[in-house]
Amino acid sequence: MKILQVGKFYPIRGGVEKVMYDLTLGLSQRGIPCDMLCATTEDHSGGTIALNTFAKLFVIPTKLSLAATKLAPEMISRLRKIAKDYDIVHIHHPDPMASLALFLSGYKGKVVLHWHSDILKQKTLLKLYSPLQSWLIKRANMIVGTTPVYVEQSPFLKNYQNKIDYIPIGIPPVYANSENVKLIKERYAGKKIVFSLGRLVEYKGFEYLIKAANYLSDEYVVLIGGKGPLHDALNLLIDEHSLEGKVKLLGFLADEEVPDYFAAADLFVMSSILKTEAFGIVQLEAMASAKPIVSTTIPSSGVSWVNQNKISGLTVPIEDASAIAKAIQLILANDEYYEKLSRGSLNRYQSYFTLDNMVDKSLQIYNQILSNYKV
């Protein structure tokens, strides 16, 4: 079989494009031809990039923005040109540009629609995109989510449950630099390190993690990695609550630094508050590092399916600083309980969320639709 992944951006930054890229690499490393068609971001010049003998990236320059969406019109002509070469187009949603390209491509083969999340906040975009989204849902031979929860409860997919499945996101093992881990621990010597990571935006709920520090003693330190538009507001919140010694905004962490902070931390917290957080890939990095997780129970999201309550960590209500603090204290107050959740976290990663598992499940679905479905 020959597969084409179609979706968002290069260079790789967000979760959707990371899934696309990792699938392209994982499949091609098994000798299965798999290419990736996407648009540029960060002023990348675009072009064709060979990854290995069986994979290449077609990176199309982004030319304009409409309704807060980046558009690369050349994706349409490129897909029209190459579509016939592929047995399956695996398209990643939400991405109006990719959907439009597929609609206009004339492609007659099989389609897997990877439903990473609903369009929630961009109401204008959804109004413009809705007819195309409806067409794509009907066109797809199979619709896959990242968790069973999200695709079962999405209002857009309720009439298509007969062709629903899911592919849990998988990541490679996480390896830390022992010297860097030692330095981080020395920097916060005598402290229980609570780590969190993500863009500093509203749906991540970092304000509630910061407020949770009010309930924690001075033996704790909360480290938040990432950058974003709420940086100054969160710094002001830290100042207002006199938490300068207990909460640190680390700023942007390079990819090679992230495993070191996971390894140095005692546990990881995901404080997200909106369904925009559909999965939470950072939870997988915590699991691969054998760290217990405190996450929130977001209605209709898959976050608390990933982090199983009392197995890989604890789940708490959204927007509840006190509950976050109590969960942190409960995990770190008892060594035996801590070790149980640490083992559970690592076991859950190894059982569900490895890169091999993601590639295996994708292949299962590809083989299924090539065998059983007709366009």
User: Which range among 57-66, 88-97, 196-205 shows the weakest confidence by mean pLDDT?
Assistant: 57-66
Sheet holding 47-52, edge to edge: 47-52, 55-60, 34-40, 3-10, 88-93, 110-115, 142-145, 164-166
Query: Tell me: domain 178-352, CATH 3.30.230.80, correct?
Result: no
| pLDDT at residue 119, as a whole number | 80
375 pLDDT band (50/70/90 cuts)? Answer: very low
Strand duo 55-60 + 47-52: pairing: antiparallel
Which tens digit of pLDDT belongs to each residue from 301-319?
A: 999 999 999 999 999 999 9
* 194 pLDDT more than 70: yes
Which tens digit of pLDDT belongs to each residue from 229-238?
A: 999 999 999 9
Helix axis angle, 96-105 relative to 123-139, nearest 10°? 40
Q: Considering the chain, what percentage of its residues have pLDDT values greater than 70?
A: 96
Measured CA to CA, the distance from residue 77 to residue 150 in angstroms comes to: 33
Cβ neighbours of residue 234 under 8 Å, at least 6 residues apart?
A: 200, 206, 207, 210, 224, 249
Mean pLDDT, range 23-46, rounded to an integer: 91
| pLDDT at residue 69, as a whole number | 64
Which helix (H) or strand (E) segment is 250 a member of?
strand 247-251
- Look up the pTM and report it: 0.89
| pLDDT at residue 262, as a whole number | 98
Mean pLDDT, range 215-219, rounded to an integer: 97
* 287 pLDDT more than 90: yes
Cβ neighbours of residue 22 under 8 Å, at least 6 residues apart?
A: 170, 171, 172, 355, 358
Radius of gyration (C-alpha) of the chain in whole angstroms: 21
Measured CA to CA, the distance from residue 364 to residue 368 in angstroms comes to: 6
Tell me if 3-170+354-372 shares its fold with 178-352.
yes
Average pLDDT of the chain is: 93
| pLDDT at residue 66, as a whole number | 59
Domain residue ranges of the chain, discontinuous segments joined by +: 3-170+354-372, 178-352
Name the DSSP letter for residue 295: E
Half-sphere exposure of 119 (CA within 13 A, CB side): 20
Mean pLDDT, range 46-69, rounded to an integer: 84
* 22 pLDDT more than 90: yes
Q: For residues 182 and 8, which has the higher predicted lDDT (pLDDT)?
A: 182
User: Which range among 63-72, 173-182, 215-224 shows the weakest confidence by mean pLDDT?
Assistant: 63-72
* CATH assignment of 3-170+354-372, among 3.40.50.620, 3.40.50.720, 3.40.50.2000, 3.40.630.30: 3.40.50.2000
User: Which range among 11-15, 137-141, 202-206 shows the weakest confidence by mean pLDDT?
Assistant: 11-15
| pLDDT at residue 177, as a whole number | 97
Q: For residues 365 and 372, which has the higher predicted lDDT (pLDDT)?
A: 365
